Amino acid sequence: MTLASTTAAAATLPRHRLWGVSRYEVAGQPVYFEISWEDRRRDTAWARAMLADHGLDGTSGLIIVSGMPESAWFDPVETAACELGTPFSIGEIWSFEAFRTAMYASRLPITMIFGMDRTVAEGLGDDLASLVARVPAIGGRPDAMPLLTAAGARPFTVTRLGPALAVECPHRSGAHLDGAEWALAERDGELFLSTVGPRAHQASDAALGLRGTVTAGRCECGRTGQRVTITE
């Protein structure tokens, strides 16, 4: 009824080429970037392949730890979960919201947490170990890795790289970047990003304010593009 009628009304309106505008920071300075609907479609297809590699399907359950301002990176993951038939919940990235991640993980048949950061990991306190024991796959941000590992997890890396998202496959040999969209360069341990795909936001050797190492060559998962390990 309501969903159907509002969806029909929305379909009569002109759709702007932009899906949204977001922002990341480098050395405290904001860098704005636009995302087109086409960008999002391709990002979703890439995220879907990454999630499928981790075994997500119609029998899985997913918590995505992210906030509204991170939707440029994580909305494609949400949509990919929808396409795979995996119900998802959002655990917000605030320490006072850690209870929500714990609640979903304890009450629902969750098989993966994607994007756990240090704030939420710390906010979980003593619950972190039991959550790690309960959930088979945990994708952690680089700042959460020591806590997750200490709690007994074998997390895979999920990391924002400026406007891009990188995700480790189950082989955990560095976070994959969508090579059809982005290219990384490393100089003296500093990471720089360029756009390769036809994105609304074009970057050329843009400093990310991150340190890491970039690996090229075939991964055991079969992907041949760049992988990155954040070192700081």
Examine residue 27 and tell whether it contacts other proteins (CB under 8 A): no
Please state, in angstroms and as integers, the Cα–Cα distance from residue 131 to each residue in 107, 117, 120, 127, following that order. 11, 14, 12, 6
Instruction: Report the C-alpha gap between 166 and 214 in whole angstroms.
Output: 12
Question: How many Cβ atoms are within 10 Å of 6's Cβ, its own excluded?
Answer: 10
* Sole binder of other proteins in the list 41, 55, 82, 172 (CB under 8 A): 82
Host H or E run for residue 4: helix 2-11
* φ/ψ (deg, to 5) at 231: -105, -10
Examine residue 125 and tell whether it contacts other proteins (CB under 8 A): no
**From residue 94 to residue 123, what is the string marking binding to other proteins with x (rule CB under 8 A)?**
x-xx-xx--xx--xxx--------------
What is the closest distance, in whole angstroms, from the C-beta atom of residue 72 to other proteins in the complex?
6
Q: Is the dihedral of CA 137, 140, 145, 151 positive or negative?
A: negative
* Sole binder of other proteins in the list 27, 58, 222, 232 (CB under 8 A): 58
Question: How many Cβ atoms are within 10 Å of 215's Cβ, its own excluded?
Answer: 15
Examine residue 10 and tell whether it contacts other proteins (CB under 8 A): yes
What is the closest distance, in whole angstroms, from the C-beta atom of residue 149 to other proteins in the complex?
28
* Residue 14: DSSP 8-state: P
Q: Which is nearer to other proteins, 21 or 133 (CB)?
A: 21
Instruction: Report the C-alpha gap between 128 and 95 in whole angstroms.
Output: 13
* φ/ψ (deg, to 5) at 88: -130, 155
Q: Are 203 and 177 in contact (CB under 8 A)?
A: no
Tokens 């998802």, residue located: 88
- Span near other proteins by CB under 8 A; candidates 57-65, 125-133, 157-165, 179-187: 57-65
Q: Which is nearer to other proteins, 6 or 149 (CB)?
A: 6
The size of the interface with other proteins (CB under 8 A), counted in residues, is 50
- Span near other proteins by CB under 8 A; candidates 54-62, 125-133, 147-155, 214-222: 54-62
* Sole binder of other proteins in the list 42, 45, 92, 196 (CB under 8 A): 92
* Residues in contact with other proteins by the rule CB under 8 A: 1-3, 5-7, 9-10, 12-16, 18-23, 30, 32, 58-59, 61, 66-72, 75, 78, 82, 85, 87-90, 92, 94, 96-97, 99-100, 103-104, 107-109
